[in-house]
């Protein structure tokens, strides 16, 4: 049985601000439009100091859809890893119709990270702002935090906690 514990984070809307249009969130197109959410660095530092691995798990289907390039997404991911205390970023570049195992709501990204870093998923958390994040966390066996921005889209129905920010989620994790 694996012993490490991790906090899995969606990228857009959890670490950086999503670009909201018509009530729906979209990823930043480039580094210039990337804005890290206030308090994220301090929250992640607190987790690291308390023995947590920080793993980002992100769907980036705009690559498969031809709206952006793999290279641009990797540039954003690498920048985030450079400025924040993140263990690794696991990215799915597929779209729903690709039926891959890595695209959330499937738990493939979390399972891959768990194998690589010997993470006990039952002692870990998934934090996201969309139903697919929460469903992936549930399927992997993690406790889940739903950051509710009131997007105009399907909401998750089965989550452990509903919060307003990563900061709020981290305070709860550190108390448990």
Query: Considering the domain boundaries, does residue 105 fall inside one?
Result: yes
What is the C-alpha separation between 145 and 139, in angstroms, rounded?
A: 14
Q: Is residue 21 within 8 Å of residue 41, measured between CB atoms?
A: no
Query: Considering the domain boundaries, does residue 60 fall inside one?
Result: yes
Instruction: For the chain, 176 residues long, give each residue's pLDDT as a single digit of tens.
Output: 689 999 999 999 999 999 999 999 999 999 999 999 999 999 999 999 999 999 999 999 888 998 889 999 999 999 999 999 999 999 999 998 898 999 999 999 999 999 999 999 999 999 999 999 999 999 999 999 999 999 999 999 999 999 999 999 999 999 98
Query: Considering the domain boundaries, does residue 72 fall inside one?
Result: yes
pLDDT at position 61 is 86
Domain range for 66: 6-175
Query: Considering the domain boundaries, does residue 1 fall inside one?
Result: no
Check: pTM over 0.75? Answer yes or no: yes
What is the C-alpha separation between 4 and 26, in angstroms, rounded?
A: 32
User: What CATH number does the domain containing 168 carry?
Assistant: 3.40.50.1000
């Amino acid at each position: 049985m694996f012993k490490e514990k991790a906090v899995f984070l969606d990228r857009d809307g959890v670490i950086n601000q999503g670009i909201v249009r018509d009530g729906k969130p979209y990823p930043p197109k480039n580094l210039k439009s990337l804005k890290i959410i206030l308090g994220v660095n301090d929250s992640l530092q607190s987790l690291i100091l308390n023995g947590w691995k920080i793993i980002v798990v992100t769907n980036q289907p705009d690559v498969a859809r031809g709206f952006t390039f793999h290279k641009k997404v990797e540039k954003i991911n690498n920048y985030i890893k450079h400025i924040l205390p993140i263990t690794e970023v696991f990215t799915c570049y597929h779209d729903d119709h690709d039926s891959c195992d890595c695209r959330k709501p499937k738990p493939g990204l979390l399972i891959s990270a768990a194998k690589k870093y010997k993470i006990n998923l039952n002692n870990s958390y998934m934090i996201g702002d969309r139903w697919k994040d929460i469903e992936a966390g549930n399927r992997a066996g993690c406790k889940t935090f739903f950051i509710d921005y009131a997007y105009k889209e399907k909401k998750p129905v089965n989550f452990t906690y509903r919060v307003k920010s990563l900061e709020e989620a981290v305070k709860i994790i550190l108390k448990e």
